[in-house]
């Protein structure tokens, strides 16, 4: 029973993280002009997307007011997948302040790489609690 608790508790925590994950409701406003934006196009039920969920939640909070970090579930909302010509998920797209695509990555993208790309785009260091 003790081993079952060790296995189930992390799984329950991950499910809670995924269900609290910020999801763009109005995708017509993404990317926001005037602010660097990273969108992660994936699905809540996709394994690599689930692995990215806690990273996105953390970075969304750390960059609030500096850059927008947005998750769009393309299984629930297919229009953005067509709009951004997504071939595989997850796909991360970084946009500059003018709303122009600057960088695209397909697959799992770790926290350090996301921070590095945002720094290349002139976004300051994330608020405490994130690696830099």
Give the pLDDT confidence score for residue 33 in this predicted structure. Answer: 84
Domain assignment present for residue 130? The answer is no
Domain assignment present for residue 34? The answer is yes
Give the pLDDT confidence score for residue 92 in this predicted structure. Answer: 98
Nearest CA-CA partner of 49 in 57, 94, 12: 57
Residue 68: exposure state from Cβ atoms within 10 A (0-12, 13-18, ≥19): buried
Nearest CA-CA partner of 60 in 11, 111, 25, 107: 111
pLDDT in single tens digits along all 132 residues of the chain: 454 444 433 433 333 333 334 454 567 778 888 999 999 999 999 999 999 999 999 999 999 999 999 999 999 999 999 999 999 999 999 999 999 999 999 999 999 999 999 999 999 888 765 444
Q: Domain residues for 28?
A: 2-120
Domain assignment present for residue 52? The answer is yes
Give the pLDDT confidence score for residue 25 in this predicted structure. Answer: 53
Domain assignment present for residue 8? The answer is yes
Domain assignment present for residue 126? The answer is no
CATH number for the domain harbouring residue 74: 3.40.30.10
Q: State the distance between the two ends of the chain, measured CA to CA, in whole angstroms.
A: 39
> Are 43 and 53 spatial neighbours (Cβ–Cβ below 8 Å)?
no
Domain assignment present for residue 40? The answer is yes
Q: How many domains does the chain have?
A: 1
Domain assignment present for residue 9? The answer is yes
Give the pLDDT confidence score for residue 98 in this predicted structure. Answer: 95
pTM score of the predicted model: 0.78
Give the pLDDT confidence score for residue 101 in this predicted structure. Answer: 96
Rg, C-alpha atoms of the chain:
15
Domain assignment present for residue 127? The answer is no
């Amino acid at each position: 029973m003790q081993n079952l608790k060790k296995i189930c508790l992390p799984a329950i925590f991950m499910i809670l993280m995924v269900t609290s994950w910020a999801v763009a409701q109005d995708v017509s406003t993404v990317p926001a002009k005037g602010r660097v934006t990273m969108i992660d196009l994936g699905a809540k039920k996709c394994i690599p997307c689930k692995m990215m969920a806690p990273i996105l939640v953390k970075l969304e909070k750390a960059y609030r007011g500096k850059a927008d970090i947005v998750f769009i579930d393309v299984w629930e909302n297919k229009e953005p997948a067509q709009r951004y010509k997504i071939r595989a998920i997850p796909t991360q797209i970084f946009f500059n302040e003018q709303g122009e695509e600057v960088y695209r990555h397909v697959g799992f993208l770790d926290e350090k790489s996301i921070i590095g790309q945002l720094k290349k785009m002139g976004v300051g260091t994330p608020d405490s609690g994130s690696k830099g």
